[in-house]
Amino acid sequence: MRKLFAFALIASLSVLFFSCKKNNIEDNGVPEITGTITGKVVSPNNRTPIRYALVFISTAKKLYSTHTDINGNFSLTAAVGTGQELHVQTGNGDKFRSIIQVDVIANQTTPLSDMIRLNQVGNFAYLAGSFDKIENILIDSLGYNAQSINSTNIQNIAGISNFDVLFINCGAYNTYENSNIDSAFSNFVSGGGSLYLSDYSMDFLTGQNALTACQVPRYYGFIADSTVCSRRTGAVSVVPNAQVISPELQYYLGKDSMSISYNLGSWERIQSIDNNFWQTMVTDPTDNSPLLIRTNQYNNGNNNAPLVGSRDTSHVTICHQLGNGTSITITVNANAVADHLAHGDSIGACNNPYQSGWIYFTTFHNEHNGQISEDVKHILEFMILNL
């Protein structure tokens, strides 16, 4: 799986920096005639530029793609044609995407007259916490929506299966952890649902007992204890030089280090981690301990679990082959799938062997008495947009 991740990294990097610069000659040797579209992508409330969004036009022959920059701006060069569908997506395109019609005019740059608002197409829910409010960023800052659910809803997969994403704030863990919740979450992630958890919510992943040594088993939790162990040993502190090691996150932030404030003590410090299962995105340079991790490698093998999420059949997520062994996950209209399969694509996201959801875990809070740093806010935006 490590090789897969390395592959994914190279693939995503090559998409970032070399997309659609491959050639300007079509298969038949005739020079390709292209034009350029420029524009800006923002959140629905117009307040937040959407960074690192994938912008593409897909023809039967070729995918023309680029990413938005740190200000949400893009410049996409594609084959000429009127009424073409210009797609904008983040993540796999199954939770956030917009499609507009554009005319690509030969040898001309056409600026879009309106900003593109990135639409939410997945169903989100959150579990309120004591110290955290991820919903502040999701709803207030970005302008998306999520339903508040409670401990009763998570006792059974039926209570959460309509959602594509669950946000679990720190402090939501307290009294109600049990094997029913473990089973619900296990089926949720295996069925393609994504989870975000912060700090003490680690209990939902590997279970309780976070004050004891890592050799002591954790109670409950649906992820094997061997994949990650944290202890509540974090001190009130600032990590001034946290290392951003994920290339995607570096692109999103526009830098590779940042300051993270831990305003409350006894946070979940990660002691050990299985790097084949988890991808570490941010570390503390003093001991290299992970501060932000994610995985899409979880699956419980239960083929009888119900389908999860909004289950929109009008669009299909596929792994599109870019050539040279690289690939990219896009979500396209259902009626475009046949063309993609014909040039060697496959159904489902790339580099996701079980088509499971993501699990993101942050050791740091998402609400610092209502005030988090801009950098932390941007990290949480990235996480939300790429679940």
Q: Please give the residue ranges that form the binding site for Zn ion (CB under 5 A).
A: 320, 340, 345
User: Smaller CB distance to Zn ion: residue 340 or 365?
Assistant: 340
Question: At its nearest, how many Å lie between Zn ion and the CB of residue 109?
Answer: 26
**What's the min distance (Å) between Cβ of 33 and Zn ion?**
21
Please, which residue, 34 or 58, has the CB nearer to Zn ion?
Answer: 58
Residue pair 363/115 in contact by the 8 Å Cβ criterion: no
How far apart CA 190 and CA 182 sit, in angstroms, is 12
Whether the CB-CB separation of 381 and 248 falls below 8 Å is answered with: no
Min CB(63)–Zn ion separation in Å? 6
Instruction: Name the residue among 17, 15, 162, 9 with its Cα closest to residue 89.
Output: 15
How near is the Cβ of 114 to Zn ion at its closest, in Å?
A: 28
CB of 325 to Zn ion, least distance (A): 15
Phi, psi of 116 (to 5 degrees): -95, 125
Shortest CB 319 distance to Zn ion, Å: 8
CB 16 within 8 A of CB 88: no
With H, G, I as helix, E, B as strand and everything else as coil, classify residue 126: strand
Which residue lies nearer to Zn ion by CB, 350 or 376? 350
Residue for token pair 């001309």: 108
In the complex with Zn ion, which residue's Cβ is closer, 177 or 345? 345
Q: Which is nearer to Zn ion, 317 or 356 (CB)?
A: 317
Q: Which is nearer to Zn ion, 269 or 340 (CB)?
A: 340
Q: Could you give the CA distance from residue 25 to residue 66 in angstroms, rounded to a whole number? A: 19
Which pair of tokens denotes residue 263? 């305003």
* Rounded Cα distance, 242 and 260, in Å: 7
Cβ burial of 274 (10 Å; 0-12, 13-18, 19+) is middle
Residue 4 beta carbon to Zn ion: minimum distance, rounded to whole angstroms = 20
Buried residues in 282-291 as b, exposed as e (16+ CB within 10 A): bbbeeeebbb
- Looking at the Cβ atoms of 320 and 368, the one nearer to Zn ion is 320
